[in-house]
Chain A
Amino acid sequence: EVQLVESGGGLVQPGGSLRLSCAASGFTFSSYEMNWVRQAPGKGLEWVSYISSSGSTIYYADSVKGRFTISRDNAKNSLYLQMNSLRAEDTAVYYCASSRLLGWFDPWGQGTLVTVSS
């Protein structure tokens, strides 16, 4: 069964850091592009970042550029999101999702909640 499981969310103060992880199983992780997509409470979906299967190509949304870093470890079937200088507006459920083309997200993990508050 194809599965993505996020972890690492929690409560952090403004200006703080957090590292999210996404563990993949049931498919050849190293062959797939990966993304992070977030959803603020009661709001719509917002794409955050993309990384190619080899890790050589990376894209970020303007809202997180310079603060967030996406990475992957194909040997560990894992995707990461290092989030620094967190702001209240970064509060959201963060989903990892695999892709075959830009914009194609399937499947999705169950999400992990990040709350930025003092």
Chain B
Amino acid sequence: QSVLTQPPSASGTPGQRVTISCSGSSSNIGSNYVYWYQQLPGTAPKLLIYRNNQRPSGVPDRFSGSKSGTSASLAISGLRSEDEADYYCAAWDDSLSGGVVFGGGTKLTVL
């Protein structure tokens, strides 16, 4: 199983606000930045949020990230059909084995 824990699925109707959680530990989320990636069906992942809560240019402000302690969240407001995708959180892990760890991914369905 993944080092970071995400719910396997989430859903919402158009216009709704949805949040996706990402739970880790003191060696990863607790001491390092969190990143969020969006993967549309059949495409490569795309950076959505960097440094916990920063949006790259071109990412709508409907997407926001937050972090508290050893957990992080991605919020999507004003849900749109094109937001239907897989979402992954990631962080560096300071443990002995180290490396970048990902969450298992959350499949977002827009009903």
User: Contacts of A108 on B, CB cut-off 8 Å?
Assistant: 44-46
Give the Cβ gap from A24 to chain B, nearest Cβ, in Å: 15
User: Contacts of A101 on B, CB cut-off 8 Å?
Assistant: 33, 50-51
Contact surface of B with A, Cβ cutoff 8 Å: 2, 32-35, 37, 39, 44-47, 50-51, 56, 86, 88, 90-92, 97-105
Q: Are B35 and A105 in contact (CB under 8 A)?
A: yes
By the criterion of a CB under 8 Å from any partner CB, how many residues of chain A are at the interface?
A: 23
Give the Cβ gap from A111 to chain B, nearest Cβ, in Å: 6
Additional A-B contact list (13), CB under 8 Å, known A46-B102, A104-B50: A44-B2, A44-B102, A45-B45, A45-B90, A47-B99, A47-B100, A50-B99, A95-B45, A101-B33, A102-B92, A105-B45, A106-B50, A111-B44
Give the Cβ gap from B95 to chain A, nearest Cβ, in Å: 11
Docked pose: A103 CA to B44 CA in angstroms: 16
Q: Is the interface of A mostly helix, strand, loop or mixed?
A: loop
Contact surface of A with B, Cβ cutoff 8 Å: 35, 37, 44-47, 50, 59-62, 95, 101-111
Give the Cβ gap from A38 to chain B, nearest Cβ, in Å: 11
Q: Are B44 and A62 in contact (CB under 8 A)?
A: no
